[in-house]
Amino acid sequence: MPTVSDPRFNLSAEQLGALARHALDTAQQLGASAAEADIGLGHGLDVTVRLGEVETLEYARDRGMSITVWQGQRRGHASTSDISEAAIRETVSAALAIARHTGEDAFTGLPEADTLAWQAADLDLCHPWALESEAAIRLACEMEAAAMAVDTRIDNSDGASVSTHVNRFVYANTLGFCRGYDSSRHSLYCSVIAGEDDTMQRDDWYSVARAADLLDAAAWVGHRAGERTVARLGARKIATCEVPVLFEAPIAASLIGHWAGAVSGGSLYRRSSFLLDSVGQTVWAPCVSIEEAPDLARGLGSAPFDSEGVLPQRRLMVDAGVQQGYFLSTYSARKLGLQTTGNAGGPHNLLVRPGQAGFEELLREMGRGLLVTELMGQGVNLVTGDYSRGASGFWVEGGRIAYPVEEITIAGNLRDMFRGVRAVGSDVLVRGGRQCGSILLDRMTVAGN
């Protein structure tokens, strides 16, 4: 089990593994035909300052276990934050009681043994940050001060935050699989408010990484948040139109998320996706290729195995616009008559192949249209593909940003939007499990005045 030495964990990975195996043995003694268990520990620090004063200071220390049991084709699940042997027995008993009252399901059960990650790789996912609260407070204050120094019109703050968390996780099942790993996640975030005349605008910026030395400098994060906030002052409304739309890289990642949801097993076997039976079909424009890379070292979406212990594979999910596969767990794969893809718990790192054009080049290629830098609302229907969300950003004329805009709605259908991608930028932003540059769409309806 790839783990790190961290005195703040009071149980080793081996001890967690022993507790998980004890839970499985208990389940079988009490009548389960199969079972799986996962146990996790976590600790972290979260600090938020506002206007130079500490607003929140939180230390977190978590532990918990969940167990799933089967009695034939009946399934029960229970969880607990108490991992003593007595509590484990009570939790197993509760899961078995639930199983006795559920209906039979021919597709449920553990994965096939040959799909499990028996030789899982060490992906270098854990880098604890020896950050004391005083140092975290200084970093947050540095961020906020850098943001407010950008312009005198920045006169208020939504806060600056520093977060560091480390987790230890072990998964085991009655097929004999028992493995785990440690992981870390650290972040810096800053949001400030600027005022001009009777209007106010806010914006933010953040950085997240597995290792603290991969984070952007705190002063840079703050300065970027300040620049973005000031740039929004003087925002106007625009007339309703149909124009090209450029999704800035942080926003473009949401389009990849909608696609992933539509080609995930739950949506597919329920027949509630606009991308049913899409393998081999042209889903995106030819300039779009997307790879799933679960084995990316230090990747924010990396994992040596999925939540069922299945080994995920690096694979090309979209090749020059053509859909190559789905995201499937063992259960959804069985429902569809397919094989698990190691995606119980969701997709891993999704890497959109960058194009040659940088952000400024994409603006020039668009010529006249809308640059979207913020989205609001949840108007996305994965059954039909209909898309309608509140937005703000900048109007572009002659390939240059002309002025900020607000109080608009952008609308279209995801099927048309995906196929209407004109270019993917080279300005890839790494701050999560979906990595892509800005995306230029040929046309959307922009509803304004």
**pLDDT tens digits, one per residue of 140-186:** 999 999 999 999 999 999 999 999 999 999 999 999 999 999 999 99
DSSP code at position 338: S
- Using a pLDDT cut of 70, give the percent of the chain over it: 98
* pLDDT, tens only, 80-116: 999 998 999 999 999 999 999 999 999 999 999 999 9
Residues 247 and 162 placed together within one structural domain of the fold:
no
User: How many Å apart are CA 184 and CA 211, to the nearest integer?
Assistant: 7
For residues 430 and 18, what is the distance between their CA atoms, to the nearest angstrom? 37
User: And the tokens for 220?
Assistant: 């840079």
Report percent pLDDT > 90 for the chain.
95
Question: What does the pLDDT average to over 421-431?
Answer: 95
Q: Reduce the DSSP state of residue 256 to 3 states and report it.
A: helix
Query: What is the predicted pLDDT for the residue at 10?
Result: 85
Residue from 343, 21, 63, 26 nearest 173 by CA? 21
Tell me, yes or no, whether 49 lies in a domain. yes
Q: What is the CATH number of the domain that holds 92?
A: 3.30.2290.10
Mean pLDDT for the chain overall: 96
pLDDT digits (tens, 9 = 90+) for 290-299: 999 999 999 9
Which tokens is 360 given? 């400024």
Helix (H) or strand (E) holding 231: helix 218-231
The predicted structure's pLDDT at residue 3: 58
> What residue numbers bound the domain in which 397 lies?
236-254+354-447
**Residue 117 — φ and ψ, nearest 5°?**
-90, 70
Residues 6 or more apart whose CB falls under 8 angstroms from that of 284 comprise: 259, 290, 318, 321, 418, 419, 421
For residues 351 and 296, give the distance between their C-alpha atoms in angstroms, rounded to a whole number. Answer: 10
Query: How far is it, in rounded angstroms, from Cα 406 to Cα 392?
Result: 4
Facing residues of 209 across strands? 186
Same domain, 84 and 172: yes
**In whole angstroms, how far apart are CA 143 and each of 148, 357, 441?**
9, 31, 34
Residue 61 has pLDDT above 80, yes or no: yes
Is residue 425 over pLDDT 80? yes
Within this chain, do residues 26 and 85 fall inside the same structural domain, yes or no? yes
Q: Structural domain tally of the chain?
A: 2
pTM: 0.94
Say yes or no: 173 and 244 in one domain: no
Q: Are 38 and 80 found together in one domain?
A: yes
For residues 52 and 113, state if they share a domain. yes
The DSSP element (H or E) to which 162 belongs, if any, is strand 154-173
Residue 5's pLDDT band, with cuts at 50, 70 and 90, is: low
Instruction: State the average pLDDT over residues 38-54.
Output: 97
Half-sphere exposure of 345 (CA within 13 A, CB side): 17
Are both 202 and 244 inside the same structural domain?
no
Residue ending a domain, choose from 230, 245, 271: 230
31, amino acid identity: G
In the structure encoding, which two tokens stand for residue 9, read together?
Answer: 């964990």
Residues 190 and 116 in one domain: yes
Beta strands in 212-363 (DSSP E): 241-247, 290-292, 315-319, 322-323, 350-352
pLDDT of residue 2 exceeding 90, the answer is no
Does pLDDT of 197 surpass 90? no
Domain check: are 216 and 245 in the same one? no
The predicted-structure confidence for 366-419, as pLDDT tens digits, reads as follows 999 999 999 998 899 999 999 999 999 999 999 999 999 999 999 999 999 999
- DSSP result, 49-109: EETTEEEEEEEEEEEEEEEEEEETTEEEEEEES--SHHHHHHHHHHHHHHHHTSPP-TT-S
- Residue range 250-277: mean pLDDT, rounded: 97
Q: Does the pLDDT of residue 7 top 90, yes or no?
A: no
- My answer on whether 139 and 246 are in the same domain is no
Question: Tell me, what's the pLDDT at 449?
Answer: 82
Considering the domain architecture, whether residues 166 and 70 belong to the same structural domain is answered as yes
